[in-house]
């Protein structure tokens, strides 16, 4: 059972690795310039020169998908990492120190969680007037909360362990205990949470771009590609299908990986 | 059992009180408890669960702030100075031996880390010998050790820290009988060889009788009876003490 689970994790991780590899080496793999327009090859069906066909401006959809993946995945990873760090830090402080700082920060978290995440994101991204940075801030505002809550609850239970009392009696400072005993021991559950957040974040970022609140054209990004090509879906469906499929594929792969890792950790 | 009453008092708690508030209910976990411990003396603290035994240890060690009362180490007033400072004078051994070590670290790492900057591997090895463990175990993590081995490692760590007072919180209750006997043997040896003073919290009166010089009987956060172990066990004055001893006798039958 455990071995089978391990094998599935390896397979999912390999799939995620291949996705990341193709996106990182987009510059080498892409057959065409993703931004070069070609008036002679408008809305061409998939062929050898354009594996996923071309869009309304004659741009290679395959190349745009690869470069768009760069934008989407890089932004997603950066945002997840940032929320992870900020949320974990806040959660650990709340859990370890308690008191008024804990009450204040957790009330803020409650308020943020009381709105649906996407609604907050759309409002904030709208106020910030588009751009990938704005979209990331918009999602980040609520994203740290899940990490903070998780880190806080784990810190609270770690705080009760006898080894923390021992460390205090050994004269270690709060900061040193947080760094050497608390943080490393909650890394595993938080890492699992980070994996499952990748899919959600990707949906969020692509969603905002689809609504025109994310990247600014002509930057390639999956959500905005779907949104642009949607207008002529009956003439050139490939321009919609290609970015949609990779979005779904990527989200499925990362969510599956996150679920498997979580299952594996629970089986421990 | 002889006790030398002229030995210096290492630790003294006067009228220690601690109140917990749980929703609208207030629980007096400790009310005006007096306690003292001489060099080389074993003081047992017995009582049923919730009688305030563990709270007493936490308050004395500074892990919990005291609401009222004073704590002295020798002549020095230590009230409110916190566990980091108290750790220079005393160390604590916990009921759950495994969880008193960070699961990620090897024993030797955890023990050396508790030495306040001191890194003396030879001393650790000597202490490992003293508690009768194999120094091979030092490189292992807590999960790879038995509860009894972990508990002996915890004693090593406390001794390595250099404290001459040990606070033991039900340290044998989670162990099997043979590990229990080993721990008791080690504590006796430490008492003879090192003049260690121990505050021994337990609900096992037979064990306390075997190990301790004096005993305090606690109920609902108060000391109901205290004195030489032989006097208290053989001629209990308080009805609650009598009841405790009776039930302990019945259990051992």
In a domain, A52, yes or no: no
- Whether residue B150 contacts residue B103, with contact meaning beta carbons closer than 8 Å, is answered with no
Which residues of B make CB contacts under 8 Å with A? 61, 63, 83-84, 86-88, 90-92, 94-96, 99-104, 110, 113-116, 154, 157, 161
Q: What is the pLDDT of residue B249?
A: 81
Q: Containing H/E element for B82?
A: helix B82-86
In a domain, A88, yes or no: yes
Q: What is the pLDDT of residue B81?
A: 86
d(CA B228, CA B44): 10
Burial class (CB in 10 A: 0-12, 13-18, 19+), B75: exposed
pLDDT at B13 over 70: yes
In a domain, A51, yes or no: no
| B193 Cα to chain A: minimum distance (Å) | 23
Of A163, A169, A185, the CB nearest to B83: A169
Residue of A nearest to B62 (CA): A169
pLDDT at B251 over 80: no
Of B96, B102, B157, the CB nearest to A181: B102
Of A165, A170, A184, the CB nearest to B113: A170
Residue of B nearest to A185 (CA): B104
SS3 assignment for chain A: CHHHHHHHHHHHHHHHHHHHHHHHCHHHHCCCCCCCCCHHHCCCCCCCCCCCCECCCCCEHHHHHHHHHHHHHHHHHHHHHHHHHHHHHHHHHHHHHCHHHHHHHHHHHHHHHCCCHHHHHHHHHHHCCCCHHHHHHHHHHHHHHHHHHHHHHHHHHHHCCHHHHHHHHCCCCHHHHHHHHHHHHHHHHHHHHHHHHHHHHHHHHHHHHHCCCCCCCCCCCHHHHHHHHHHHCCCCCHHHHHHHHHHHHHHHHHHHHHHHHHHHHHHC
Using the Cβ of A188 and the Cβ atoms of chain B, whether some distance falls under 8 Å is answered with: no
- Whether residue B11 contacts residue B37, with contact meaning beta carbons closer than 8 Å, is answered with yes
Burial class (CB in 10 A: 0-12, 13-18, 19+), A216: middle
In a domain, A37, yes or no: no
B76 φ/ψ angles, rounded to the nearest 5 degrees: -85, 130
Q: Which residues of B touch A170 (CB under 8 A)?
A: 87, 113-116, 161
Q: Which of A200, A204, A213, A229 is nearest to A64 (CA)?
A: A229
Q: What is the pLDDT of residue B253?
A: 59
Q: Which of A223, A217, A219 is nearest to A139 (CA)?
A: A223
Q: What is the pLDDT of residue B124?
A: 93
Using the Cβ of A179 and the Cβ atoms of chain B, whether some distance falls under 8 Å is answered with: no
Contact criterion met (CB < 8 Å) for B92 and A166: yes
Contact criterion met (CB < 8 Å) for B99 and A171: no
Contact criterion met (CB < 8 Å) for B99 and A162: yes
- The SS3 call for residue B23 is coil
d(CA A65, CA A67): 6
| B169 Cα to chain A: minimum distance (Å) | 11
Q: Which residues of B touch A167 (CB under 8 A)?
A: 102, 113-114
Contact criterion met (CB < 8 Å) for B96 and A163: no
* Total residue count of chain B as it appears in this document: 253
Contact criterion met (CB < 8 Å) for B114 and A167: yes
- The SS3 call for residue B97 is coil
Q: What is the pLDDT of residue A36?
A: 84
Of B91, B102, B115, the CB nearest to A163: B102
Residue of B nearest to A161 (CA): B99
In a domain, A218, yes or no: yes
Least confident of A56-70, A245-259, B51-65, B238-252: B238-252
pLDDT band at B2 (very low <50, low <70, confident <90, very high): very low
- Whether residue A87 contacts residue A146, with contact meaning beta carbons closer than 8 Å, is answered with yes
Q: What is the pLDDT of residue B4?
A: 58
Q: What is the pLDDT of residue A178?
A: 94
**Model ipTM value:** 0.90
In a domain, A49, yes or no: no
The number of domains in chain A is 1
d(CA A12, CA A45): 31
In a domain, A85, yes or no: yes
In a domain, A202, yes or no: yes
pLDDT at B6 over 80: no
Contact criterion met (CB < 8 Å) for A171 and B63: no
Structural domain of residue A164, as residue ranges?
2-30+57-267
- In order along its 268 residues, chain A shows pLDDT tens digits of 788 889 999 999 999 999 999 999 988 888 888 888 888 888 888 888 888 888 888 899 999 999 999 888 899 999 999 999 999 999 999 999 988 989 999 999 999 888 888 888 999 998 988 788 889 999 999 899 999 999 999 999 999 999 999 999 999 999 999 999 999 999 988 998 899 899 889 999 999 999 988 888 788 899 999 998 999 999 899 999 999 999 999 999 999 999 999 888 887 7
Q: Which of A80, A7, A22, A6 is nearest to A249 (CA)?
A: A22
d(CA A224, CA A230): 10
Q: What is the pLDDT of residue B1?
A: 42
Strand order in the sheet with B25-38: B25-38, B9-22, B68-73, B76-77
Distances (CA, A) of B240 to A124, B128, B173: 66, 40, 22
Q: What is the pLDDT of residue A94?
A: 93
CATH code (residue A191): 1.10.3720.10
Please, what is the average pLDDT of chain B?
A: 89
Q: What is the pLDDT of residue A13?
A: 95
């Amino acid at each position: 059972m455990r071995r089978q689970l391990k094998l599935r994790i390896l397979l999912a991780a390999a799939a995620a690795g291949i996705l990341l590899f193709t996106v990182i080496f987009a510059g080498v793999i892409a057959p065409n310039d993703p931004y070069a327009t070609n008036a002679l090859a408008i809305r061409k069906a998939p062929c050898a020169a354009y594996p996923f066909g071309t869009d309304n401006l004659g741009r290679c959809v395959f190349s745009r998908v690869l470069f768009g993946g760069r934008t989407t995945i890089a932004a997603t990873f950066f945002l997840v990492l940032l929320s992870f760090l900020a949320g974990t830090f806040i959660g650990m402080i709340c859990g370890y120190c308690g008191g008024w700082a804990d009450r204040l920060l957790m009330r803020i978290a409650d308020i943020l969680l009381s709105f649906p995440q996407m609604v907050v994101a759309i409002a904030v991204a709208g106020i910030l007037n588009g751009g990938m940075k704005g979209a990331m801030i918009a999602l980040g505002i609520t994203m740290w909360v899940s990490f903070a809550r998780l880190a806080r609850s784990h810190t609270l239970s770690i705080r009760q362990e006898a080894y923390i009392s021992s460390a205090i009696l050994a004269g270690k400072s709060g900061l040193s205990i947080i760094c050497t005993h608390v943080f490393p021991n909650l890394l595993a559950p938080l890492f699992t949470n980070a994996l499952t957040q990748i899919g959600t974040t990707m949906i969020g970022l692509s969603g905002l771009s689809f609504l025109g609140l994310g990247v600014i054209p002509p930057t390639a990004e999956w959500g905005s590609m779907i949104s642009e090509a949607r207008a002529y879906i009956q003439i050139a469906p490939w321009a919609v299908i290609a970015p949609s499929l990779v979005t779904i594929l990527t989200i499925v792969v990362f969510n599956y990986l996150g679920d498997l890792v979580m299952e594996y950790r629970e089986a421990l | 059992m002889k006790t030398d009453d002229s030995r210096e008092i290492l630790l003294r708690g006067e009228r220690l009180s601690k109140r917990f508030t749980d929703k609208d209910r207030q629980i007096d976990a400790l009310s005006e408890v007096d306690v003292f411990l001489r060099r080389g003396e074993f003081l047992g603290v017995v009582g049923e669960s919730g009688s305030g035994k563990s709270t007493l240890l936490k308050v004395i060690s500074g892990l919990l702030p005291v609401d009222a009362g004073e704590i002295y180490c020798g002549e020095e007033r230590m009230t409110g100075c916190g566990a980091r400072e108290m750790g220079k004078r005393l160390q604590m051994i916990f009921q759950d031996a495994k969880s008193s070590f960070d699961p990620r670290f090897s024993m030797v790492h955890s023990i050396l880390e508790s030495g306040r900057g001191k890194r003396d591997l030879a001393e650790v090895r000597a202490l490992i010998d003293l508690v009768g463990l194999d120094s091979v175990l030092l490189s292992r993590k807590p999960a790879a050790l038995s509860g009894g081995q972990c508990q002996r490692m915890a004693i090593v760590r406390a001794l390595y820290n250099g404290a001459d007072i040990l606070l033991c919180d039900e340290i044998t209750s989670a162990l099997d009988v043979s590990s229990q006997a080993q721990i008791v043997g080690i504590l006796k040896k430490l008492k003879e060889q090192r003049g260690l003073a121990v505050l021994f919290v337990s609900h096992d009166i037979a064990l306390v009788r075997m190990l301790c010089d004096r005993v305090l009987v606690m109920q609902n956060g108060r000391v109901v009876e205290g004195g030489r172990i032989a006097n208290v066990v053989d001629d209990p004055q308080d009805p609650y003490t009598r009841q405790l001893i009776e039930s302990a006798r019945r259990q051992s039958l």
